[in-house]
Amino acid sequence: MKPWLTFAWIAALRFLAEGRMQSGFILSGIAIGVGVIVFMSAMLTSVQTNFTNRVLTSQPQIQLLAPQEVARPLRRHDGVIEAAIVQQPTQRILSIDQWQTILAAMRARPDVVIATPTVSGSALAVRGDASRSIGIFGMQPDDYFRIVRVPDYIVAGNSDLGSDDILVGLELAKDIGATIGDKINVTTAMGGSRTLTIKGIFDLGNKGANERNAYVALRTAQSLLGLLGGVTTIDLTVADVYAAETIAQDVQATLPVEADSWIKTNAQFFTAIRAQNLSSALIRIFVGLSVAFGIAAVLVVSVLQRSKDIGILRAMGCARGQILRIFLIQGGVLGFVGSLAGALVGAAALMVWHRYARQADGSELFPLYIQPSLFVSSAALATITGVIAGIVPALRAASLDPVDAIHG
């Protein structure tokens, strides 16, 4: 006999082996329950991870902007208001005041990973008889492309920007009938005009962005928008993406800028994530309850069926604590073995689903992320659930009177 295989373990395993049909049914139920938990958890984690990555690679995590212009009522010396009705001023393209100092302060913060200046505004792209309204984004490619991964979405050409180059979206290129190497005339309401060469065409996976977004060098955008030496935004990435809103509020409270985090600008996305997390938690709870009741039911039946055996064991000097441990061990073993089978079932279902669930063009819906910790936590949860479910039957078995059990 193994030194760790105590009497309680021997009796528990023997009881499970003798009631193999009952044990088989409950193991199947546990496996299915754990498989559902593993499948749903891994799929929801993959969906959230892919959505989050998509959001974080297509926009800055925090964006600093110049405060909006605010109209104030005219007052006389004594504080009497001259004109109570104030019209909201037209918002102009403004440069951030002392942006070099703010940029240096951001780069000095330990919680900020990347900080880069950008210039953005509206323009008109003209090629021959075709014209389209576009949004110009001027930036320093080396830093900006570490925040917004435009090079990852290039489908033609490359992202090496010179002062006379431009990157355009796939839909915009189609609309104006342009391709790599073609020239387009870009003009702005501020009177700026440049003839730029299309260096690259990107596909961000969003038709609206592909129709409107265009990227140029920082100095090119400054010249077009009449902001020589100025910038309209400072884009940031931070060490902890989920602390972006807290960092944005701190920056806005200490510097003369407005700070918008990706959490604030994607409120609907976070609402959807919370709903998914809630539904996933509810699934885990109800599946866990069904597993617990199943184990408890099997052990209660086992106590009833083996009451004489329990009485004989008690009459032979077996302590109540040993009887208690026998049934707790049974619950733990059922939960652990069932969780291992369920983890395999869930992993197999994930692989099959990922293999055959495809987009219209045959590509995968999204990359699948399977964390080893998911299987460990599922096994631990099922084992603990099995032990807890065995408490009531174990207490009932331990409380049996030996004489009554033998005669009963």
- Answer with the one of 256, 284, 302 that is the final residue of a domain: 256
CB 199 within 8 A of CB 165: yes
Tokens of 59: 């926009």
Task: Report if residue 90 sits inside a domain.
Answer: no
- Helix (H) / strand (E) containing 69: none
| Nearest-angstrom CA–CA distance, 334 and 383 | 7
- The mean per-residue pLDDT over the stretch 340-361 comes to 81
Looking at 256, 282, 313, the residue that finishes a domain is: 256
Q: Residue 306 is part of which domain span?
A: 7-54+269-407
Banded model confidence at residue 119, pLDDT cuts 50, 70, 90: very high
> Do residues 200 and 180 lie in contact, with contact meaning Cβ atoms separated by under 8 Å?
yes
214 and 357 share one domain: no
pLDDT tier for residue 393 given thresholds of 50, 70 and 90: confident
Does one domain contain both 341 and 245?
no
- pLDDT above 80 (res 146): yes
- In a domain, residue 199? The reply is yes
DSSP 352-394: HHHHH-B-TTS-BSS-----HHHHHHHHHHHHHHHHHHTHHHH
Instruction: Using a pLDDT cut of 90, give the percent of the chain over it.
Output: 21
pLDDT at site 168: 93
Q: Are residues 278 and 249 in the same domain?
A: no
pLDDT one-digit tens code per residue, 325-338: 887 887 888 888 88
Residue 249 inside a domain? The answer is yes
pLDDT score for 304: 65
Q: Are residues 186 and 313 in the same domain?
A: no
Asked if residues 51 and 269 have their Cβ atoms less than 8 Å apart, the reply is yes
* Dist CA 214 CA 190 (whole Å): 18
Position 91 in a domain: no
One-character DSSP codes across 260-318 = EEHHHHTHHHHHHHHHHHHHHHHHHHHHHHHHHHHHHHHHHHHHHHTHHHHHHHHHTT-
Residues 312 and 363 placed together within one structural domain of the fold: yes
Distance, CA of 374 to CA of 340 (rounded, Å): 12
Closest among 72, 101, 11, 38 to 325, alpha carbons compared: 11
Instruction: Check residue 182 and give its pLDDT.
Output: 92
79 within domain boundaries: no
Pair (322, 245) in one structural domain: no
* Whether residue 165 sits in one domain with residue 118: yes
Confidence of residue 1 (pLDDT cuts 50, 70, 90): very low
Q: Is the pLDDT of residue 17 over 70?
A: yes
Give pLDDT tens digits for 59-93: 888 989 888 755 555 555 565 555 555 555 555 56
Does the pLDDT value for residue 373 go beyond 70? yes
8 A C-beta contact, residue 183 and residue 169 = no
CB atoms < 10 A from the CB of 120, how many?
18
> Quick one: 234 and 273 in the same domain?
no
Whether residue 214 contacts residue 168, with contact meaning beta carbons closer than 8 Å, is answered with yes
Residues 243 and 277 in one domain: no
Q: Do residues 33 and 287 touch, judged by C-beta distance below 8 A?
A: yes
Do 296 and 390 share a domain, yes or no? yes
Bridge partners, residue 117, by sequence: 234
Output the pLDDT for position 77. 58
127 forms beta bridges with: 130
pLDDT at 287 over 90: no
Domain count, the chain: 2
The residue out of 256, 285, 312 marking a domain boundary is: 256
Give the model's pLDDT for residue 196. Answer: 93
Residues 133, 215 within the same domain: yes
Angle CA(383)–CA(389)–CA(393) in degrees, nearest 5?
Answer: 130
The answer to whether the beta carbons of residues 169 and 212 sit under 8 Å apart is: yes
Which residues, at least 6 apart from 285, have a Cβ–Cβ distance to it below 8 Å?
A: none
* CA 137 from centroid of its chain's CA atoms: 27
Task: Write down the pLDDT at residue 184.
Answer: 93
- 229 assigned to some structural domain: yes
Instruction: Give the global pTM.
Output: 0.65
Rounded Cα gap, residues 396 and 323, in angstroms: 10
Residue 129's identity, in one-letter code, is: D
Question: Token pair of 365, please?
Answer: 């819906």
- The answer as to whether 194 is a domain residue is yes
106 pLDDT higher than 80: yes
Residue 192 in domain? yes
Q: How far apart are CA 36 and CA 374, in angstroms?
A: 12
Whether pLDDT at 256 is above 80: yes
pLDDT at 243 over 60: yes
Cα distances (Å, whole numbers) of residue 362 to 170, 202, 358, 365, 366: 21, 21, 5, 9, 12
Indicate whether 322 and 241 sit together in one domain.
no
Q: Maximum CA pair distance of the chain?
A: 105
